[in-house]
Each structure stands twice: as C-alpha cells, then as structure tokens.
C-alpha cells in the first residue's frame, strides 16, 4: 500500500472568503478533480459554523461524504487563550476547549484532530483520555521553524511512551523542509517597499542557515508568526526576550552589512531566514510510525522547466520529504496545504492566485513523487 492523498480545505480559504467555492464545492473538487485523492482535512473555525454546526449540517456533511466518496481525515483546531478576556486560560481550560473539538470531530466522522504546534503537552495529556475513548488520534503539528529533532517531538514521544497511547503522534508540516523564502513572498515584500538587496540578503542568509553557518544562533522553538511579531517589535523598540537578543541583533547586523539604508521592512525580509527549520529527512523516516497525517505545505507551484505538465515548489524539498516517508513505510494521508494565496492579496482581484489550479498542480506532484 502506498500513501493516500487528500487536501486541507485551508487551501481554499480565499475561494471561500470570496464565496466562489462553498464547502460542498470544495469537497467535490477534492474528490472529483484530483486523480484519486479522497481525504478531507479542515479547520473547524474556518469551514464550520462554530462551536456547534447543528444537526442539519451534520446530516448534509455525511451526505456529501457518501455522494462524493470523500473521507473525513483530520480536523484542525485552534487555541485562543484570551477568549474569556478577564484572564489567560489555564491548561485545564484549554483542555476543555480541545475536548469540545474532539467531540465535534467525532460527530463529523474525523479520525484525527490536529492540535497547534504551540499547544503545551500538558494540555494534550489532559485531553488524551477522551481522545482514546472516542478513538480519535491527536496529532501535534510540527511547523517551521520547529524541527523534528527538537523538544516538541520528544515531548510527544515521551507522553506516548508514558501512557502507552496509540492515539498520539505528530502532524509534520512539510514547510519544515523549506530551503529559502518563496519567490512569491519576496515579490510581495517588494511591492510593499522592500529592496532587492534585502531579498538577496534573505536568500543568502537562508543558505547559511541551511548549512548551519549563520553567524549567530538560530532558534527552533517559536512559531513563524510569533517569531515574526517578536522580531518586528525588536526592530521598532529594541525590546525582546533576552534569549532571542543575540539572534535578532545578528540578523540586524547581517542586514545592515548588505542593505543600503535599511528600512524596518528590509529587516523583516532578511529575518525570514529564521523561519527555516533545517530538519533532516532521516528524522522524518525514523518518526514515520508516529505520523498521524502530513500537512503537505506549499506556497507556489510552477511548471518544472523542460518538463511540461510537471510541477514543483522550488522553495521546499519535496523529493527528500516524500522519499523519507516512503522509506519509513508511511501509508497515511498527505494533505495539500496551500498557503501562497496571501502573497497576492495586495493586488487587484483579477490578479489573485487561483487556489484550485495551485492545488491541482500540487496533487500532480504528489502523485508523481509517491509513485516513484
């Protein structure tokens, strides 16, 4: 048996926002137009009326699954710790929210729940007994700039060992195999005023980071979004967590040496190199037994020069990632997760990227690489 293919409906976030493709249309696209894909993954707070989508919806949902031959694979859930506004949610409160989402996933026939990379392991431990009792597997996302070799994965493996649970694992986001900023992201920065020197410096620093030759320490414990916010605050105010200071000062110096009269946005661009995980494909091979499903992240599919009809994302090392999963005997789902649409959303509507086309190209690549 080989790997199975599906799509995270996150990929169609813009089509949904613009009301070009509703949830049923998204399910139909996945199951009818992607050459044998059948897996459905979704973000509950994007795709559903939340927190309760209602019984009528649940009936329609299962009707779509039957009609289109689709399989509910994974529900992605969020954690907003300021929900109550008068205090920061405790671990127990976060676990209650996760338990709600586990029940919702079960109600819709999902097999897995993806928890965010930032969810403390204590929260997962509190919710694990319910997941076990409902036969739902919990997968903690491992997202760039985290790496498979880091503490986040060890915590999951430790908890699984301690509890003997078969319902706990990881959801690797293949952005951890990114090697450089995506060209579409750099073009987006340039339209907002970043210089070509800053973009070149970001690509140069990416090369150094990938070869472990950066002239300062590179963290692996934050999320990309949180890291960006912290760095931008540092550039504007000079303040940051002490542990991040050598890194942020190093990026600033690196940029100042290469960019003439850098603006805050130029620093932001260069700091994108900090979001690379530098993880090893062999770590993924060794962890295959604990992979719940895979977020097959991509930002921009383009045709491979000289190979009509074949596509690639030049910024993510897909051959290495898929090869590692194949060597590890992975038989679960690879779910396309397109994220590049946001890098066109400053442009007029007619220039927005076509998500449906991007996912079709990506599925062509997955078909080809998994058949190899």
Partner 1 sequence: MFDNLLIRADSLCNDVVDGEVVGFRLAVRIANYRGVFLSLHNGYYLEVDGVVYPRDVQTFEVNGKSPRTFEETTAAVWEHWDYDDEAILHVRLPGGLPPGEHIVRFQQSVLAAYGYLPTDEEWVHTPPEPGTGAGSDKTPYIVTYTLTLNEKHAEPEAVA
Could you list the residues that contact partner 1 (CB under 8 A)? 10, 13-14, 16-19, 22, 43, 45-47, 49-51, 78-88, 116-120, 192, 223, 225-226, 229-230, 232-233, 241, 342, 345-349
Shortest CB 292 distance to partner 1, Å? 19
Shortest CB 354 distance to partner 1, Å? 16
Cβ nearer to partner 1, comparing 59 with 349: 349
How far apart (Å, rounded) are the C-alpha atoms in residues 121 and 50? Answer: 25
Cβ nearer to partner 1, comparing 100 with 290: 100
Tokens found for residue 342: 């946001």
Shortest CB 263 distance to partner 1, Å? 13
- List the 71-76 sheet strands across, edge first: 168-172, 137-142, 112-115, 71-76, 39-43, 4-8, 333-338, 294-298
How far apart (Å, rounded) are the C-alpha atoms in residues 345 and 188? Answer: 9
68 close to 25: Cβ distance less than 8 angstroms: no
Shortest CB 43 distance to partner 1, Å? 5
Cβ nearer to partner 1, comparing 166 with 347: 347
Max intra-chain CA distance, the chain: 61
Which stretches within 194-334 are classed as H helix?
196-210, 224-237, 245-258, 264-271, 281-287, 318-327
What residues form DSSP beta bridges with 14?
none
Shortest CB 233 distance to partner 1, Å? 8
Cβ nearer to partner 1, comparing 229 with 304: 229
Shortest CB 341 distance to partner 1, Å? 9
Shortest CB 324 distance to partner 1, Å? 26
**What's the N-to-C CA distance of the chain in angstroms?**
13
Tokens found for residue 346: 């400053």
Q: Buried (b) or exposed (e) across 279-289, using 16+ Cβ within 10 A?
A: bbbebbbebbe
Cβ nearer to partner 1, comparing 45 with 327: 45
Cβ nearer to partner 1, comparing 154 with 347: 347
Cβ nearer to partner 1, comparing 77 with 218: 77
Give SS3 for 75.
strand
What does DSSP say about strands 302-303 and 311-312: parallel, antiparallel, or unpaired?
A: antiparallel
């Amino acid at each position: 048996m080989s790997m199975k293919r599906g799509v995270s409906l996150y990929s169609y976030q813009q089509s949904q926002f613009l009301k070009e493709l509703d949830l049923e249309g998204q399910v139909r696209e996945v199951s009818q137009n992607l050459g044998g894909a059948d897996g459905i993954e979704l973000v509950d707070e994007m795709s559903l009326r939340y927190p309760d989508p209602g019984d009528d919806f649940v009936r329609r949902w299962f009707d779509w699954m039957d009609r289109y031959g689709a399989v509910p694979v994974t529900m992605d859930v969020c954690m907003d710790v300021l929900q109550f506004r008068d205090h920061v949610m405790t671990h127990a409160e976060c676990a209650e929210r996760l338990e709600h989402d586990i029940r919702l996933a079960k109600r819709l026939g999902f097999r897995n729940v993806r928890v965010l990379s930032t969810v403390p392991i204590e929260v997962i431990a509190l919710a694990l007994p319910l997941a076990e009792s409902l036969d739902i597997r919990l997968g903690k996302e491992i997202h760039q700039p985290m790496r498979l070799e880091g503490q986040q994965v060890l915590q999951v493996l430790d908890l699984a060992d301690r509890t003997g649970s078969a319902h706990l694992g990881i959801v690797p986001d293949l952005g951890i195999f990114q090697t450089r900023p995506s060209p579409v992201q750099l073009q987006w920065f340039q339209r907002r005023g970043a210089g070509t020197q800053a973009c070149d410096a970001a690509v140069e620093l990416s090369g150094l980071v990938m070869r472990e030759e950066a002239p300062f320490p590179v963290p692996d414990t934050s999320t990309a979004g949180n890291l960006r916010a912290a760095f931008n605050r540092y550039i504007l105010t000079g303040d940051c967590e002490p542990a991040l200071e050598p890194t942020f000062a190093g990026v600033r110096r690196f940029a100042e040496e290469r960019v003439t009269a850098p603006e805050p946005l130029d620093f932001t661009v260069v700091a994108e190199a900090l979001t690379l995980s530098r993880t090893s494909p062999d770590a993924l091979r060794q962890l295959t037994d604990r992979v719940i499903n895979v977020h097959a992240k991509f930002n921009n599919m383009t045709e491979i020069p000289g190979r009509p009809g074949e596509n690639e994302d030049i910024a993510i090392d897909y051959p290495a990632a898929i090869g590692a999963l194949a060597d590890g005997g992975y038989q679960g789902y690879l779910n396309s997760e397109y994220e590049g649409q946001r890098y066109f959303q400053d442009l007029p509507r007619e220039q927005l990227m076509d998500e449906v086309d991007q996912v079709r190209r990506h599925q062509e690549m997955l078909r080809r690489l998994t058949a190899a």
